[in-house]
Copies of this chain bind each other. A is one copy, B any other.
Amino acid sequence: MISNRGKTIPKSPIRKLIPYADEAKARGVHVYHLNIGQPDVKTPDLIFGPIRDFKQEVLKYGPSQGILMLRKAIANYLNEDYSLTIEPDDVFISTGGSEAVLFLMLATLNPGDEILVPEPFYANYNSIATIGDVNIVPITTSVEDGFHLPTRDKIESLITDKTKAILICTPNNPTGTVLTKNEKEMVVKIVEDNNLWLFSDEVYREFVFDGGQCSSFLEFHNARDRIVVADSISKRFSCCGARIGFIVTKNKELYETVLKFGMARLCPPTIEQYGATAGFEHRHEFLSDMIKEYEHRRNVVYEEIQKIDGVFTSKPEGAFYTVIKLPVEDSEEFVRWMLTDFEKDGKTTMLAPAAGFYKTPGKGKDEARIAYVLKEDDLRDAMNILKEGLHAFKSKN
């Protein structure tokens, strides 16, 4: 009595090992969570302000496309920081970034259609594609190449009659890779020459390190009818539980279609939209400090990785993740063992096995994702525990 999609939709690879972590905690073990992109960075208080001060007597339905004040604030932010010409009516507020991606897939792909996505990719894309009954065709990248894109020929060889879109996430979850200007130009040419949509997941837009330039695919004005941004305030404002995302598109036909899907769920949460508005208006007061903190953590985690024998990664360029190659056969087994059988001074470290971030069977089995979302001391301790755990795991085998 369960549907096929109900059987095949994957459990979140990030969340499915949580019961083992819960058991470890029940035994009194402290678990460092490097497995999930839940930062310990304080939510800026100015975002809580309008939430605490919400004074309307009735907590009403808002507009299906989101409140105008927030859509204005987002348009201003994009226009000021990225020299764009976005209107409030080009912005659709979604219930989290995941709904943004879902609505884009539903609005443009028929069941059985294909969307190209560089792998490894954010695992929930798989679940969202299952809901929409669309097929993700992976563009395989590797840790040895710093997870940068293959050649145009290689990518175009994957395009079929059923391909309708390419989905890019840069700065990338789970790899931390930031696409170069040349790579972005190549992707735009591919979607133009093959009449595809380009969906750009820019949740980590500002999370670029080493002085690199932040940018949006919307800067390619000439292709703006086919380039659509999916975004979220979860990471930028460190408020994952707010469930406020958004879509930006100049394509009116797409906007109107997305709006119909939006009407089916009435509206995104009302109160958090006021907090999000304050976040965009006051972003200069906290965002650069937040990015500096993540860059520092990136340096810490990269330094610590160098100290572990047999572990390889490319230096992450942005976001707050990295995918590392481990000297084990099955990283899921190792991650589980760290929770069930290992502890050091009453503490252990949890990673996310990387196989769930790949579509190609067998890929990523010896890899894991680290989300460096903890402060320096915790991060160093967690990485040291990982080092010792890995040594113990290999000794026992």
Which of A252-287 touch B at CB < 8 Å? 253-254, 257, 260-261, 263-272
Establish whether residues A61 and B38, one from each chain, have CB atoms under 8 Å apart when the complex forms.
Answer: yes
Bound complex: CA of A4 vs CA of B132, how far in Å? 12
When C-beta atoms are compared, the residue in chain B nearest to A267 turns out to be: B241
Range class of the A interface residue count: 35 or more
Q: List 19 A-B contacts (CB under 8 A).
A: A1-B195, A1-B197, A3-B107, A6-B106, A6-B257, A43-B58, A47-B59, A51-B51, A52-B52, A59-B242, A60-B241, A62-B241, A95-B269, A98-B264, A98-B266, A99-B265, A127-B260, A127-B264, A242-B270
Bound complex: CA of A112 vs CA of B43, how far in Å? 44
The answer to the question of A360 belonging to the interface, with a C-beta cut-off of 8 Å to chain B, is: no
The answer to the question of A39 belonging to the interface, with a C-beta cut-off of 8 Å to chain B, is: yes
Nearest first, the 9 A-B pairs at minimum CB distance are: A241-B270, A127-B264, A12-B263, A59-B239, A6-B257, A6-B107, A61-B240, A269-B269, A59-B241
- Which residue, of A38, A95, A108, A271, has the highest number of chain B Cβ atoms within 10 A? A271
When C-beta atoms are compared, the residue in chain B nearest to A127 turns out to be: B264
The answer to the question of A308 belonging to the interface, with a C-beta cut-off of 8 Å to chain B, is: no
The answer to the question of A42 belonging to the interface, with a C-beta cut-off of 8 Å to chain B, is: yes
Establish whether residues A264 and B128, one from each chain, have CB atoms under 8 Å apart when the complex forms.
Answer: yes
The answer to the question of A54 belonging to the interface, with a C-beta cut-off of 8 Å to chain B, is: yes
Establish whether residues B48 and A264, one from each chain, have CB atoms under 8 Å apart when the complex forms.
Answer: no
Tallying the copies of this chain within the complex gives 2
Bound complex: CA of A46 vs CA of B270, how far in Å? 18
Which of A130-163 touch B at CB < 8 Å? 130-131, 133
Establish whether residues A110 and B5, one from each chain, have CB atoms under 8 Å apart when the complex forms.
Answer: yes
Q: How far is the CB of A130 from chain B (nearest CB, A)?
A: 8
The answer to the question of A15 belonging to the interface, with a C-beta cut-off of 8 Å to chain B, is: yes
The answer to the question of A173 belonging to the interface, with a C-beta cut-off of 8 Å to chain B, is: no
The answer to the question of A11 belonging to the interface, with a C-beta cut-off of 8 Å to chain B, is: yes
Establish whether residues B60 and A240, one from each chain, have CB atoms under 8 Å apart when the complex forms.
Answer: yes
Establish whether residues A266 and B107, one from each chain, have CB atoms under 8 Å apart when the complex forms.
Answer: no
Which of A212-262 touch B at CB < 8 Å? 226, 238-243, 253-254, 257, 260-261
Which of A82-113 touch B at CB < 8 Å? 95-96, 98-99, 102, 106-111, 113
The answer to the question of A392 belonging to the interface, with a C-beta cut-off of 8 Å to chain B, is: no
Chain B positions within 8 Å of A130 at CB level = 264
